[in-house]
Amino acid sequence: MVLEFFRGGADSELEEIEGLIIQMLLDCRHTFDLAINAVIGGTEPAAVGKRISKTDVGVNKAQRKVRKELVVHASVRGSNADLPMVLSSMSIVKDAERIGDYSKNIWDIADAGVDLSRDDDIDTLIKYRDRTSSMIAETARVFRERDVEAAHRMIQESDGVQDEYDEGIRALLSRADSAGPEAVARALLYRYLKRINAHAMNVLTSLVMPVHRLDFYDEKKADRS
């Protein structure tokens, strides 16, 4: 397990890094909730735009602080620094920040004037919303508690989730009546949901994978070796 250093008398600065990453994930969940409800929940995009921007600024600041603390740790400790920890944390913090970025992209769909709240498949969209929001929160919990069993389970289940979003995109491409702004917006939504899921799973790989296999979830299933 790459991040075992956080337990058993870990240094305070490393515990602070862990706390920052967890808070980034929770803040990104907040951004996602605001953004997706502007697309499918009837929320006025302008009503949440400033809150999303403010939260994103905080996430970016936390990312820079984590990177700075990791560099300080490596510089001060020298040969005694935990190099796998530094490398894995650099990767994790990038993935956490990207969850926020894709959530902002979802808000951009709403800001462009798209409202899917009255579409026939709104129940499916609500399922995707609730599943993704819960998944981000569970990722933060699993990471905090080092729940390796849950990490394995979530990673295994995630392939099915990814396939579901891909199928949604393929269905749009195959429909003769799918041309137009709403179809484009829906395809983008599926794509952003898929990427949020993938970046969350990349965070969890830090609990179950050696450092050289982090980010494997960015690869197609057939290419993961």
The band of 27, judged by pLDDT with boundaries at 50, 70 and 90, is very high
**Higher-confidence position of 31 and 221:** 31
Mean pLDDT throughout 192-200?
97
DSSP state of 180: S
Mean pLDDT throughout 75-101?
81
Can you give the pLDDT at residue 181? 77
Can you give the pLDDT at residue 87? 79
DSSP state of 224: -
Can you give the pLDDT at residue 6? 46
In tens, the pLDDT along 55-86 reads 999 999 999 999 998 888 777 766 555 677 77
The pTM of the full predicted model, rounded to 2 decimals, is: 0.88
* Cα 165 to chain centroid, rounded: 15
Domains of the chain: 4-223 (1.20.58.220)
**Radius of gyration of the chain from its Cα atoms, rounded to whole angstroms:** 18
CB-based burial, 41-55: b 16+ in 10 Å, e otherwise? bebebeebbeebeeb
In tens, the pLDDT along 125-149 reads 999 999 999 999 999 999 999 999 9
* Positive or negative torsion for Cα 208, 211, 213, 215: positive
In tens, the pLDDT along 159-177 reads 999 999 999 999 988 875 6
